[in-house]
Amino acid sequence: MRICRDYTAFMENLILKGYAYKIPNDKLTVESGKVRYLPHHGIYHPKKPTKIRVVFDCSAKYDGTSLNDMLLQGPDLTNSLIGVLTRFRTEHIAFMADIEAMFYQVKVPPHQHDLLRFLWWPNGDLSADLQEYSMTVHIFGAVSSPSISNFVLRAVADRAEKVYGLPVADTIRNNFNVDDCLKSVSTEETAVKLVDNLRSACEEGGFQLTKFTSNNRDVLNLIPSEHRSKHVQTHDLNYDLLIERALGMQWHISTDMFGFTVDLKEKPFTRKGLLSTMSSLHDPLGIVAPVMLPAKKVLQDLCTNKQLGWDDEIPAEQKQVRQKWYESKRSMQVGIVLITDQNTPRLQWPMGRVIATE
C-alpha cells in the first residue's frame, strides 16, 4: 500500500537523521508528569502527489488542553509574500532556493523532549508492539515553530554579516519567506558570488540551501548539480520550457515571466461557490485582477442582497454572468512579461504585455 510505504519511509528518515529517537525503557516514566503524546497523520501536497509529509497534531486536546494552547506563538518574523515577490523582480539575474527541512534544523532543549512524544512501530512493522519515540526538533504543526525558526535564521544573518558582508546578511533578512529564498541581482558575477556566500553562511548556521534554479543558465551551471532543483535536473535538455513555482506563482524561467494556468473546477451556483472559485486562483500581486473583476462584481451584488444566504442558489441574471465568466476563463492561460531588455527594470507598471490564449 502506497501510503503505508511512504509513511514508513518518512518516519524512518526522521529517526535516521536524529530528528527523533526511541525512548529508552528506563526513561519511559517521567516523575514530573510533564509528558505529551502527539497524534500524527500524513499529508500529500496537491502539487507534489508523490511526496508525503507527516504532521504532528499539536492542537489535539487532552483533558481540555493541547500543546499549542500551552505554547507562545511568538512574533511574526516572516517576510511578507508580496514584499519577497516584488524584490525578486527588481534586477535581471534571478535565482531561487530553499532551506532543506527548515524546522527540523532547529533543536528543542532535551528537557522538553517529553512534550514531543509519539507512538510508532519499529521499522514500520505493524505486527510489532507500539514503541514510544520523541522528537528532538521543532515540528510542523506547533504554533511556535515558524517564529522560532525565523528567529534563528535572523541570528544566522547577524553572524553572516560579520563574515560575508552586508549583501549576504540583507538577503537572509529580506529575501526569505520562511524557507524559500527569492533573490535578483544585476550581474552574473554578483549572482555567483552571492550564491556561494549564501550557501556557506546558511550551512555554518545549520541550514542547508538547496533546490537552486535561475533564469541565467551560466549561474545555474556553477551550482553543484545535487543542489539544483529536481525540475532543472530532469528537464535539463528542455530548460527553455521549464516552469518553477515561486511562492505559489508560476515562474516561466526562459521568458522570465509570471504566468497563470487557470483550471477552475465546477462549483455550486451559490455565493459560497463563487467565492471558492475566485479564491482558487493564487495571485498575491494582483496581476490578473482585471480578469477577476466580472466575478467580483457579481459577488458584490450578491452580498448586498440581504435575503440571499451563502448556500442559496444565485438569481438567474447573476448566474448567467457568472457562467459566461467561468467558461471564458476556464482554459485561459495568462502571463505577464516583466522584462524587455537589459536596460529596463524588471519591475515596472504597467507590467509589460498580457498574453492570453484560449
**pLDDT per residue as tens, the chain (358 positions):** 788 899 999 999 999 999 999 999 988 888 776 899 999 999 997 777 788 999 999 999 998 999 999 999 999 999 999 999 999 988 989 999 999 999 999 999 999 999 999 999 998 888 999 999 999 999 988 999 999 999 999 999 999 999 999 999 999 999 999 999 999 999 999 999 999 999 999 999 999 999 999 999 889 888 888 888 877 766 554 556 678 888 888 888 888 888 776 666 667 788 888 888 788 778 888 887 887 888 888 888 888 887 788 888 888 777 777 777 766 655 444 444 443 344 444 443 333 333 333 3
* Burial class of residue 150 in the structure, from the number of CB atoms within 10 Å of its CB (0-12 exposed, 13-18 middle, 19+ buried): buried
Cα–Cα distances in Å, from 139 out to 53, 64, 115, 175, 217?
Answer: 11, 22, 12, 23, 36
d(CA 133, CA 21): 5
Within 13 Å and on the Cβ side, how many CA atoms surround 286? 4
Q: What is the pTM of this model?
A: 0.82
Kindly state the cell numbers that stand for 191.
549572482
Domains detected in the chain: 2-75+107-143 (3.10.10), 261-334 (no CATH)
Kindly state the cell numbers that stand for 169.
546578511
Q: What is the pLDDT of residue 49?
A: 76
Q: What is the pLDDT of residue 351?
A: 36
Which is it for the CA torsion 146, 151, 155, 157, positive or negative?
Answer: positive
Give 167's contacts (C-beta < 8 A, 6+ positions apart): 194, 197
